[in-house]
Structure 1
Amino acid sequence: MTLPSFPTLTSLPAAEHPDLVAAPVAEALAVWAGAAEVAVVEIDPDLADTAAMSEAYDIPLTASGNCVVVAGARAGDERIAACVVRADTRADVNTLVRKLLDVRKCSFLPMDRAVEETRMAYGGITPVGLPAPWRVLVHDALLDEEVVVLGSGVRRSKLLVPGRLLADLPGAEVVPGLGR
C-alpha cells in the first residue's frame, strides 16, 4: 500500500513511528483500522501553524484540516466536540455547531483545558486520539481530498490522512457545510 504524501515532505508509516506523535495519537493509531493508510511527516515546529506550513511546504489550504475544540452546556450537561474543517474555511460554531450540540451558546474550549484534556500540544490538536466521549464533527469537503494534512498532537510533525478515512475516525460525524 502506498502511503499518502506530498513532494515536499517525507512520509513514514504513522503507526510505526509513535515517537513522532502525541501519546493519545499513537494509542489511537494502534487500534484504528485506517491507521495502515496514515503517514506522519516531520516538520519544523516553528512552521506548525497552518498558513506557515502551507507556504513553506507548498501544501494547498484545501488539503489541510484544522481541528478546533468547542463546548457548550444545556441543563448543566457540558457537551464537547472537535470540529475538523478545511483550512481555507472556519467552523460554523455559532450556528451549525451550536445547533448540533443542542446548546444555547457554544465557545472554543480554553487553550489550557483543551491541551490538558487532549494530552496534545496547542497547535497540534488532531481528531485522531481524542477523548472517547467527545463528538468529532468532520467538514464534508475534507472527504473529497486525496490527502488531508492534520495535526499529530505535537508541533514537530503532521499526519497525512486519505480524506475518505476521516469519516471512519472513532466518533466521527460528517457534517455538510461545517466549514464556511
Structure 2
Amino acid sequence: MTDTLPEIRAILEASPYAFEVMDCDPELADTAVFCARYGKAPEDSANTILIRSKTGELKFAACVVLATHRLDVNKVARKKLGARKVSFASAEETRELTGMEIGGVTALGLPTDLPLWIDADVMARKEIILGGGNRSSKLIVDPKLLLDQPLSEVVEGLANPIEISAS
C-alpha cells in the first residue's frame, strides 16, 4: 500500500476529523483523470495551487479551490498577495517550496510561513479530496481540517465556478 508522507500522516492522525488515505496510480493523479478513473465527483476534489508575485518582492501563497472552480488569480488572489502581477508558481518552484510534485500537492504540511487561502466554496463541502503530498495517494478529509493549518484563511470569491457550455 502506498501512503502519504510521514509528516502529512502525523497531521491527519493528530486531527479530530476522520480521514482516508487512498492509493492512486501516479499516472492518474491529475484531478480530471483521477476523478474519471476512480469515480470521484469533481465538485468534491480540491486542488492546492501555488501562486507567486511576478513583480516587486517575491511572495508566494497556496490556494485551495474546488476542481469545478477557477482561481481568480488576476483579481482576488493578486490583490490579496499585494502584487501588481501574479502567476502560477512553476513546477520547480512548487517542488522547491513544498517538497511536493504537481498532481500531489496538498494543503497539509506546507511551510508554516506560507499563507493558505481557502475558497469559501471548499468549506461548504461535506468532505474533500486533496493531493496526498505525492502523486501516489489522495486524502479524503473534512474541509474543517484546512482551518487548523498555519496561516489558513477562508477567502470569499477566491475562485469562481467554471462555466460549462452546452455544445
| Aligned residue in 2 for 1:96 | 76
* Contact in 2 for aligned 1:81/1:137 (Cα 8 Å): yes
By how many angstroms is 1:83 displaced? 0.6
Letter of the aligned partner of 1:156 in structure 2? S
By how many angstroms is 1:168 displaced? 2.6
What whole-Å deviation, never above 9, does each CA across 1:125-166 have from its counterpart, x for those lacking one?
111011111100101111111110000111111011112332
Q: Which runs of 5+ in 1 are unaligned?
A: 1-16
Distance change (3 Å), C-alpha of 1:23 and 1:73: farther
Give the TM-score normalised by the residue count of structure 2: 0.86
SS of corresponding position for 2:78: helix
Letter of the aligned partner of 1:53 in structure 2? F
| Aligned residue in 2 for 1:84 | 64
Using the alignment, how far apart are the partners of 2:69 and 2:54 within structure 1?
A: 25
Pairs aligned (count):
160
SS of corresponding position for 2:133: coil
| Aligned residue in 2 for 1:12 | none
| Aligned residue in 2 for 1:160 | 140
Q: Does 1:25 align with 2:8?
A: yes
Instruction: Find the partner of 1:40 among 11, 21, 33.
Output: 21
Give the TM-score normalised by the residue count of structure 1: 0.81
SS of corresponding position for 1:90: strand
Letter of the aligned partner of 2:35 in structure 1? S
SS of corresponding position for 1:150: strand
Using the alignment, how far apart are the partners of 2:158 and 2:23 within structure 1?
A: 29
| Aligned residue in 1 for 2:45 | 64
By how many angstroms is 1:56 displaced? 1.3
Using the alignment, how far apart are the partners of 2:43 and 2:36 within structure 1?
A: 13
Please show how residues 105-116 of structure 1 align to structure 2 within 5 Å: 105-116=85-96
Q: Which runs of 5+ in 2 are unaligned?
A: 161-167
| Aligned residue in 2 for 1:131 | 111
**Greater helix content:** 1
Moved more, 124-133 or 20-29: 20-29
Letter of the aligned partner of 2:40 in structure 1? I
What whole-Å deviation, never above 9, does each CA across 1:46-73 have from its counterpart, x for those lacking one?
2111111111121111100011101116
| Aligned residue in 2 for 1:121 | 101
